[in-house]
A and B are shown apart, each in its own frame.
Chain A
Amino acid sequence: MDFRLTPEQEALKREFEEFFKEEMKQAPPGWTGALEDMFSAEGWPFHRGMACKLAQKGWLVRPWPREYGGQDAPIIEQLIFSEMRGYYGAAGVDAWGIDMLGPTVLAVGNEEQKKEHLPPIARAERFWCQGWSEPNAGSDLASLTTRAVRDGDDYLINGQKTWTSGAHCADWMFMLARTNPEEKRSRGLSYFLLDMKSPGIEVRPLYSMDGSHLFNEVFFDNVRVPARNRVGVENEGWAITRATMNFERSCIQIMAGAKHDHEELVEFCKETRWNGKTLAENPFARHRLAQLAIEIEVGRAMSYRIAWLQEKGGLIAAAAAASAAKVYGTELTQRLAFASYQILGLYGQVKRSKWAPLMGKFESLLQFTPGMNIGGGTSEIQRNLIAWVGLGLPRTI
């Protein structure tokens, strides 16, 4: 056992850290690093600008192969990058394009698709959204009903997606649609890439409980997609959603973000006097903060171990552990948000304004955390996966 980074890894970490620390000083006021910040009116240009800077440094798609603008970064280096990015709540990384679509195209796309779609991502010119969930297909995604019908050299797409993060900003969407209506569930689905400027696409905003605009509904009315934009074999789109290759799945950015928020809260509690003493002197606050520090360290250890497992045995070896980290990380963030609310008392409810502690960061986090336990696979689905994949319990749904 050796929990140390190598001197080269330490140096890389410092390099990432210096960059993010410096660049994030330019962030719009009230920036928290949450997804909804990236898709706000002030946030989106900042996000894109940061992506350009990352691209110029050659850091935007470090995990990708060199021929597509990457550096073949080993898993541990990806982990360090994500950790620093998460810690500073940094903008600039389009996770859908870089971590989801990119690996899929690299794994199963044809040469033409690689040439067409990977370079614009690497140059920070094209941003992606994900067309997965539908009103009647959430956790049971394989039951989705949006249709794609072959029409000459094209497909015609009709139907609706929902909870589509950033669809109002994205340039392109990767999506699943049903090409064979005779087949139920995961058979009969195909994987398409479509330009969000295509005629027949309508994006309608969905406002989250805090009023922010992250999610959208996307409607498709006879949207024409060239057949060359189908990735992989027709009707076998489900399997390729699993093709993520060697990209880190440690959730370290969640743990690192929690660490940063926690440190700010600790400093606030040391400095702030209410009712005649500092918050740090309140035994309940002390113990809540200590417990959170422990939980954050546990989360960091989980993430590092996942990266190590992935480096040794690939994603399959780390699949159950990655599910565990997702549940743990999002639930930890929720505990952090609610503990901060208990510590901040009356002030915890104030939105970013004169009387809001820490620029209203925890008010915003508090309202966002119920969504974190749902998006990207609910905590329940993740626990199912831990039980099925990790413990070998029977799969009945």
Chain B
Amino acid sequence: MNFGLSEGQRMLKQTARDFLTAECPSSLVKEMATDDKGYSPELWRKMAELGWMGLAFPQEYGGTGGSFLDLAVLLEEMGHACLPGPFFSTVVLGGMTILELGDEKQKRELLPLIAKGELIITLALTEPGSSYSASEMMAEAIADGDNYIISGTKLFVPDAHIADYIICVAKTAQGAILFMVDGRNPGISCSLLKTIASDKQCEVVFDKVKVPEESVLGDLDQGWIQLQSILRRAAIAKCAEMVGGAQQVLEMTVDYVKQRVQFGQPIGAFQAVQHHCANMATDVETSKFITYQAAWRLSEGLPCNQEVAMAKAWVSDAYKRVTLLGHQCIGGVGFMEDHDLPLYSKQAMGAETAFGDADFHREVVAQELGL
């Protein structure tokens, strides 16, 4: 039994903390909220130079051969910095999916480019009438000779406005298929949604988008089954980000209550405030354990459906509690737009609903319990 990070993971975490503290200050995060692209290409290039995009790809595909667990460690630090941009979409939703489902040609062609920071990829799954359930999905792909014609509307697609490829899930007569669609296909129209975290989620309309059959990712008609593994990975990767964000809220809050003086003493000397902080610390710590336990299982290829569901349900609730207590302790200044805390309370709200909220995952757990 070993609950600790490996030496390499500790170094990765420290490098990421140092790099992001320098290169991704909260001023940049705030700037990107109103930026059209929503990320800094300069920072993106530097991240690629550090090998982050290819961290979890094998060396033969231009990566550095790390594990999913390594990627989770990095994502935790990205959450800590509230890093804006398409890393999650490109690597977790895009690259890892291609690595799992792609044929040799797709992997050789796409993964090295992702590793070099030259491609942005995302996943288009959810729709106006369906989130994570197969039966209600409307977008469809119709075979047309050597091509498929995709039509439908996808919602909450992260970073689609800048994506080179959109992995689109569409139903067929026999199931569902994942397609690699060129983000610049003229049949695609994309508009940004106005969201709490200003995190560049899009409405993407596929209007009779014609794609060749080589763009099929994974097995024909098995798309829905294959998607389950993608969603587990995305949910636990999101948990890792949330854990980092929650850790930062705790650090920010404890620093504040040690310095803020009222009634002649730091407010952190008051038991009411101490108990808020203790509750935050427990939520942060437990979120870490439950996340890494699931991430480790996923990384090791062990069954993890229940563990991932437990983690996403717990962390979705816990991060919310942490940010609300952070607001309670930091008071009025933390409620102001220019403070850093709202970056995280917004991150928490956005992440809570992504890849299944707590209720969604509680239902998964209920089924796993045989209820």
**A interface list, Cβ under 8 A from B:** 1-6, 9, 76, 266, 269-270, 280, 286-287, 289-291, 293-295, 297-298, 301-302, 304-305, 308-309, 312, 320-321, 324, 327-328, 380, 382-384, 386-388, 390-394, 396-397
Instruction: Contacts A270-B370, A302-B289 known; list 11 others, CB within 8 Å.
Output: A3-B297, A286-B362, A287-B366, A290-B371, A295-B314, A302-B285, A321-B285, A386-B277, A392-B258, A393-B273, A394-B268
Using CB atoms, name the residue of chain A closest to B266. Answer: A394
Q: Across the interface, do A294 and B314 meet the contact criterion of CB distance under 8 Å? A: yes
Q: Across the interface, do A2 and B369 meet the contact criterion of CB distance under 8 Å? A: no
Give complex CA distance A159, B278 in Å.
36
Partner of A266, one of B265, B278, B310, B369: B369
Q: Across the interface, do A386 and B282 meet the contact criterion of CB distance under 8 Å? A: yes
Contact mask for chain B residues 305-338; partner A; CB cutoff 8 A; 1 contact, 0 none: 0010010011000000000000000000000000
Q: Across the interface, do A384 and B314 meet the contact criterion of CB distance under 8 Å? A: no
Q: Across the interface, do A387 and B274 meet the contact criterion of CB distance under 8 Å? A: yes
Q: Across the interface, do B281 and A391 meet the contact criterion of CB distance under 8 Å? A: yes
Query: Counting CB contacts under 8 A, is B254 at the interface?
Result: yes
Q: Across the interface, do A3 and B1 meet the contact criterion of CB distance under 8 Å? A: yes
**B interface list, Cβ under 8 A from A:** 1-6, 69, 254, 257-258, 265-266, 268-269, 271, 273-275, 277-279, 281-282, 285-286, 289-290, 292-293, 296-297, 307, 310, 313-314, 359, 362-363, 365-366, 369-371
Given contacts A266-B369, A384-B271, contact A324 B1 (CB under 8 A): no
Across the interface, which residues of B come within 8 angstroms of A396, CB to CB? 265, 269
Give complex CA distance A131, B252 in Å.
42
Q: Across the interface, do A302 and B1 meet the contact criterion of CB distance under 8 Å? A: no
B interface: dominant SS: helix
Q: Across the interface, do A2 and B359 meet the contact criterion of CB distance under 8 Å? A: no
Give complex CA distance A269, B371 in Å.
8
Across the interface, which residues of A come within 8 angstroms of B365, CB to CB? 290, 293-294
Across the interface, which residues of A come within 8 angstroms of B371, CB to CB? 266, 269-270, 280, 286, 289-290
Across the interface, which residues of B come within 8 angstroms of A302, CB to CB? 285-286, 289
Q: Across the interface, do A2 and B258 meet the contact criterion of CB distance under 8 Å? A: no
Q: Across the interface, do B268 and A1 meet the contact criterion of CB distance under 8 Å? A: no
Partner of B290, one of A9, A270, A289, A297: A297
Given contacts A301-B293, A304-B1, contact A290 B366 (CB under 8 A): yes
Give complex CA distance A5, B292 in Å.
16
10 sample A-B contacts, Cβ–Cβ < 8 Å, listed by A number: A270-B371, A293-B365, A297-B310, A301-B289, A302-B286, A305-B289, A308-B4, A324-B282, A393-B257, A393-B269
Using CB atoms, name the residue of chain B closest to A279. Answer: B371
Q: How far is the CB of A262 from chain B (nearest CB, A)?
A: 9
Given contacts A2-B1, A391-B281, contact A293 B275 (CB under 8 A): no
Give complex CA distance A392, B258 in Å.
9
Given contacts A290-B366, A327-B282, A393-B257, contact A308 B1 (CB under 8 A): yes
Given contacts A266-B370, A386-B282, A387-B277, contact A294 B269 (CB under 8 A): no
Give complex CA distance A342, B150 in Å.
49
Using CB atoms, name the residue of chain A closest to B364. Answer: A290
